[in-house]
A and B are shown apart, each in its own frame.
Chain A
Amino acid sequence: DTAVSQTPKYLVTQMGNDKSIKCEQNLGHDTMYWYKQDSKKFLKIMFSYNNKELIINETVPNRFSPKSPDKAHLNLHINSLELGDSAVYFCASSQHRTGQAYGYTFGSGTRLTVV
């Protein structure tokens, strides 16, 4: 049973397109996150939701819009894709927003390539 699952695993698309990445967790966690990992492996937090409420919104272009229909899902929609958006996007969840109890559980990532 996959704890944090994100789809698709790979996404190749042209500049200017709009795309979505979906994430679901079956752990009953309260908090979910989106991270972007660049080619140098630097992981940067993008968004965090706690019980469907946005609690972290780092400096991310407003072309990126997270949506959390319920606390088990956090989707990421990206408008007008640019070449610089190419990266691996990771969804994660934690029982508490500090990750205090058991840390963060990550999905396997979505490799986005914009051509």
Chain B
Amino acid sequence: SQQGEEDPQALSIQEGENATMNCSYKTSINNLQWYRQNSGRGLVHLILIRSNEREKHSGRLRVTLDTSKKSSSLLITASRAADTASYFCATASSGGSYIPTFGRGTSLIVHP
């Protein structure tokens, strides 16, 4: 099964700065999703982008998808200390069993 991989593994920034995380995957997808996981908690769905979409916005979040490069990026603008969490991308492959697979996540720390 394919697997998304996030980059960087860890990111440390100051409040107010922007945070960019990337996700790469291996095979054709139906959609790609980003999730946030606060320490000791479950994953929370942030945004879903379909394979025929190139960019999507939700509040301070901006997601891009480049299917030719098999990559996606998540941009968090004007970060806050409360954005401190791990961020995961998940891909649902097209065709077959639609196995939803996650990467290892990017650990984001936003310093107040």
Contacts and interface: CB of A to CB of B under 8 A. Distances in A.
Interface of A: 4, 33, 35, 40-45, 48, 55-56, 58, 90, 92, 94, 97-100, 102-109
A98 B92 contact: yes
Interface in B53-98: 86, 88, 90, 92, 97-98
Interface residues of B, number: 27
Given A58-B1, A98-B31, 15 more contacts: A41-B104, A41-B107, A42-B102, A44-B102, A48-B100, A90-B42, A98-B92, A99-B31, A99-B33, A99-B100, A100-B31, A100-B92, A102-B45, A103-B48, A106-B35
B108 to A, nearest CB: 13
Contacts, number: 75
A2 to B, nearest CB: 11
Given A100-B31, A103-B48, A45 B99 contact: yes
Contacts of B30: 98, 100
Given A99-B90, A108-B42, A45 B101 contact: yes
A55 B98 CA distance: 10
Given A40-B104, A104-B33, A107-B42, A97 B98 contact: yes
Contact of B86 (A41, A105, A109): A41
Nearest to A94: B100
A16 B45 CA distance: 36
Interface in B8-65: 30-31, 33, 35, 37, 40-45, 48, 50
A109 B97 contact: no
Contact of A56 (B37, B41, B90, B99): B99
B48 A56 contact: no
A40 B104 CA distance: 8
A104 B42 contact: no
